[in-house]
Amino acid sequence: MCEWGELLSEISACTKCVLHRSRRNPVPGEGSRSAQVMFIGEAPGAREDETGRPFIGAAGQLLTQLMESIKLQRDSTYITNVVKCRPPSNRDPSDDEIAACLPYLIKQIMLVKPQLIVTLGRHSSRTIYELAGLKWVSMAKQHGKPIEVSIASIRTTVIATYHPASALYNPNLRKLIEDDFRNAIARVISREKESKRTLLDYL
């Protein structure tokens, strides 16, 4: 079986934390396996648990709209969560649950090798910052700032932003997330141009 196949069957049979008891379906993630941009949310909600697909409820619809507003096709990205099973009553995932599920996320990052990782919300942002050996302080201080990191030997850029669920009824926050997305994409595009220029210099 290929590495993706192995990973997906491991997640669907996983019992490494208590969340497996109450889940209906694990939600591994979806999208392009060669995506340049990876979005990482917190945990599946009710709709996601019913269908096994990430970000398809109200927050997911807003996420899709926010992507479209910066001309990013949802299908061209890879979307996943820090924990793959729904916490009961949508409570926050515990540190133990996050730690138990983290190897799957690391494997996904190694397989997709995204140029940009957008972390949605503080749980996801803190997890990825700490994985990259950085200190997480707060969303207010750290959102929208692209940082170059190395995660499991993959060099990539991480940008933290607010969770789209928090922006559902808050147009100001929605604008902030959109600006953060724009900022992140601009950074990746300018780096691509930069690397092409450097390449040309050598020709």
Residues near ligand URA, by CB under 6 A:
41-45, 48, 54-55, 57, 59-60, 81, 165
Q: Are 125 and 119 in contact (CB under 8 A)?
A: yes
Cα–Cα distance list, 127 to 7, 57, 65, 193 (Å)? 20, 23, 25, 30
- Closest separation between CB of residue 58 and ligand URA, Å? 8
CB of 53 to ligand URA, least distance (A): 8
The reply to whether 97 sits near ligand SF4 by the rule CB under 6 A is yes
Q: For residues 115 and 124, which CB has a smaller minimum distance to ligand URA in the complex?
A: 124
Q: DSSP letters of 132-160?
A: TT-----HHHHTT--EEEEETTEEEEEEE
Start-end of H helices in 31-160: 46-51, 58-69, 95-112, 122-131, 139-142
Q: Which stretch binds ligand SF4 (CB under 6 A): 7-15, 126-134, 142-150, 188-196?
A: 7-15
91 DSSP assignment: P
If one asks whether residue 85 binds ligand SF4 (CB under 6 A), the answer comes out as yes
| Residue 107 interacting with ligand SF4 (CB under 6 A) | no
For 19, half-sphere exposure in the C-beta direction (CA atoms, 13 angstrom radius) is: 32
Does 20 bind ligand SF4 (CB under 6 A)? Our answer is yes
Closer to ligand URA by Cβ: residue 115 or 127: 127
> Could you say whether residue 19 binds ligand SF4 (CB under 6 A)?
yes
121's tokens? 């919300």
* Contact range with ligand SF4 by CB under 6 A, out of 10-18, 31-39, 119-127, 180-188: 10-18
Site for ligand SF4 in 23-52 (CB under 6 A): 26
